[in-house]
């Protein structure tokens, strides 16, 4: 018998004893006999099932044994919880359903059992059933905050962003907590859906809603810039991309490449070089620096680019920068020197190969591409580019 089943038995022992006492009282014995607590035979049979690892039979017996009254409801709830935590959700569901089916259950206990059963359903992926129970709790104003949080989770899993927005708003007024950044992400999801349908005007409206809920929603600006490019408006795209840098400088590496293309389209590359100089001077990051280096090479020649890169790397070393520097040196070297430089280039390649470019700032989840919702901890907007010598 493992530790878990030992816990279950200890949990049930006082209840079993109590029900034995009740049985004694009901059978009409006098007070002296009633005080003698005896363990009912069903309990011993249950113990036997557990010892023989016939756990389903044991549970059936315990459910039968535990007459639901105010004194045993807590035990039922604790038992159900134990099963769910152990991953035996089907058993937790049976226990909680059994509780709810009892007509004598008080309103408070019934609400608690509904909350538990809803959580069981969520755990086993029965989202529709869970949704029904949590809505019932919200309507009754019983455990409403916990139910609203669960509903928010369900609608996100179902990608029902409209309902998620409505629930987040209710949570905001119920708790005073701010859900603006999450609501903004839900609007961004709706904008992405509109983009997929080719309805850019609906998408723009959604992005406006996103920014109204969170003016620092960089994702809304990035999506807007993408729409502008689709609609061949490079100047408007530039304005939106630059807004990303002000909203959250972490996302600058996402915009430097697209900005270069937009500035090239409108023929104003020197203006972009000035912008990049400012970004590199104030915020840094190897992606903007490499973009500035390429642009300097294009506008002023390779020597100017190499000089700029050397000076910046001296301030903030980065493997990707060293790699570019070695490539510049290789272009003018020959013979033995070129072979040595090539060996160094391969080493730098190995240093950054396989390194995750993005990481969740909440749970540390490492990713190769940008996700707006962390696949690990499910939080929004927490995955950012990795900074440091081997990263940005
Ligand atoms: Zn995470």
Domain-embedded: residue 185: no
Instruction: Please tell me the distance from the alpha carbon of residue 38 to that of residue 18, in angstroms, as a whole number.
Output: 8
Ligand 1 mean position, distance from CA 244 (Å): 22
Does residue 68 sit in the same domain as residue 12?
Answer: yes
Domain-embedded: residue 38: yes
Ligand 1 mean position, distance from CA 152 (Å): 18
- Report the pLDDT value the prediction gives residue 32, as an integer from 0 to 100: 47
SS (H, E, C) 301-368: CHHHHHHHHHHHHHHCCCHHHHHHHHHHHHHHCCHHHHHHHHHHHHHHHHHHCCCCCEEECCCCCEEC
DSSP-derived 3-state class of residue 379: coil
Domain-embedded: residue 201: no
Does residue 24 sit in the same domain as residue 116?
Answer: yes
Nearest to 109 by CA among 72, 157, 61: 72
Domain-embedded: residue 218: no
- Report the pLDDT value the prediction gives residue 356, as an integer from 0 to 100: 77
Ligand 1 mean position, distance from CA 197 (Å): 30
Ligand 1 mean position, distance from CA 376 (Å): 5
Ligand 1 mean position, distance from CA 182 (Å): 15
The last residue of one of the domains, among 163, 182, 203, is 163
Does residue 130 sit in the same domain as residue 9?
Answer: yes
Does residue 151 sit in the same domain as residue 69?
Answer: yes
Does residue 386 sit in the same domain as residue 278?
Answer: no
Ligand 1 mean position, distance from CA 110 (Å): 35
**Number of domains the chain contains:** 3
> Any bridge partners for residue 380, and if so which?
373
Ligand 1 mean position, distance from CA 275 (Å): 32
Ligand 1 mean position, distance from CA 360 (Å): 5
Does residue 374 sit in the same domain as residue 339?
Answer: no
Sheet hosting strand 358-360, strand order edge to edge: 366-367, 358-360, 383-385
Range of the domain at 97: 3-163
Q: Do the Cβ atoms of 14 and 22 come closer than 8 Å?
A: no
Q: Do the Cβ atoms of 42 and 17 come closer than 8 Å?
A: no
Q: What is the CATH number of the domain that holds 74?
A: 1.25.40.10
Does residue 303 sit in the same domain as residue 159?
Answer: no
Domain-embedded: residue 213: no
The last residue of one of the domains, among 110, 133, 163, is 163
Does residue 149 sit in the same domain as residue 63?
Answer: yes
Does residue 312 sit in the same domain as residue 328?
Answer: yes
The last residue of one of the domains, among 133, 163, 193, is 163
Ligand 1 mean position, distance from CA 380 (Å): 8
Domain-embedded: residue 242: no
Does residue 274 sit in the same domain as residue 294?
Answer: yes
Domain-embedded: residue 341: yes
Ligand 1 mean position, distance from CA 357 (Å): 14
Does residue 373 sit in the same domain as residue 296?
Answer: no
| Digitized pLDDT (tens) for each residue of the chain, 392 residues in all | 566 666 666 666 655 555 554 454 455 444 444 445 556 666 667 667 766 767 777 777 777 766 656 667 888 888 888 889 888 899 899 989 988 988 888 899 999 999 999 999 999 999 999 999 999 999 999 999 999 999 999 999 999 999 999 999 999 999 999 999 999 999 999 999 999 999 999 999 999 999 999 999 999 999 999 999 999 999 999 999 999 999 999 999 999 999 999 999 999 999 999 999 999 999 888 999 999 999 999 999 999 999 999 999 999 889 899 999 999 999 888 889 999 999 999 998 888 887 778 999 999 999 988 999 999 999 999 999 988 777 77
Domain-embedded: residue 196: no
Q: What does the DSSP assignment read for 254-301?
A: HHHHHHHHHHHHHT-HHHHHHHHHHHHHHT--HHHHHHHHHHHHHHH-
DSSP-derived 3-state class of residue 380: strand
Backbone angles phi, psi at 360, to 5 degrees: -75, 130
Does residue 387 sit in the same domain as residue 286?
Answer: no
Ligand 1 mean position, distance from CA 13 (Å): 42
Ligand 1 mean position, distance from CA 359 (Å): 8
Assessment of whether the complete model's pTM goes beyond 0.85: no
């Amino acid at each position: 018998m493992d530790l878990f089943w030992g816990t279950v038995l200890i949990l049930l022992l006082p209840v079993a004893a109590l029900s034995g006492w009740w049985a004694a009282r009901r059978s009409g014995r006098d007070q002296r006999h009633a005080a003698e607590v005896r363990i009912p035979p069903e309990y011993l049979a249950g113990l036997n099932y557990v010892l023989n690892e016939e756990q389903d039979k044991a549970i059936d017996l315990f459910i039968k044994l535990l007459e639901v009254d105010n004194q045993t409801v807590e035990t039922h709830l604790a038992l159900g919880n134990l099963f769910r935590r152990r991953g035996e959700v089907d058993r937790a569901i049976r226990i909680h359903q059994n509780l709810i089916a009892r007509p004598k259950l008080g309103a408070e206990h019934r609400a608690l059992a509904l909350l538990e059963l809803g959580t069981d359903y969520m755990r086993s992926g029965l989202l529709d059933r869970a949704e029904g129970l949590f809505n019932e709790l919200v309507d009754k104003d019983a455990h409403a905050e916990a139910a609203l949080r669960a509903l928010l989770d369900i609608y996100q899993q179902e990608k029902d962003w409209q309902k998620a927005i409505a629930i987040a708003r209710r949570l905001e007024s119920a708790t005073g907590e701010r859900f603006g950044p999450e609501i903004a992400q839900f609007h961004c999801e709706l904008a992405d859906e509109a983009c997929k349908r080719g309805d850019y005007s609906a998408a723009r409206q959604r992005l406006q809603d996103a920014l109204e809920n969170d003016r620092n929603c960089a994702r809304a600006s990035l999506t807007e810039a993408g729409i502008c490019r689709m609609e061949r408006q490079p100047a408007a795209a530039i304005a939106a991309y630059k807004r990303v840098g002000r909203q959250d400088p972490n996302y600058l590496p996402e915009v430097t490449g697209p900005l270069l293309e937009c500035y090239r389209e409108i023929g104003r590359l020197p203006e972009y070089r000035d912008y990049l100089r400012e970004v590199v001077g104030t915020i840094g990051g190897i992606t903007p620096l490499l973009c500035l280096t390429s642009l300097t090479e294009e506008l002023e020649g390779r020597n100017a680019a190499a000089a700029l890169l050397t000076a910046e790397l001296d301030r903030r070393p980065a493997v990707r920068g060293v790699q570019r520097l070695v490539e510049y040196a290789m272009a003018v070297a020959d013979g033995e020197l070129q072979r040595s430089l090539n060996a160094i280039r391969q080493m730098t390649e190995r240093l950054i190969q396989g390194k995750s470019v993005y990481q969740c700032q909440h749970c540390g989840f490492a990713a190769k591409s940008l996700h707006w919702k962390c696949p690990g901890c499910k939080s929004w907007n927490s995955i950012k580019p990795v900074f440091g010598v081997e990263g940005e």
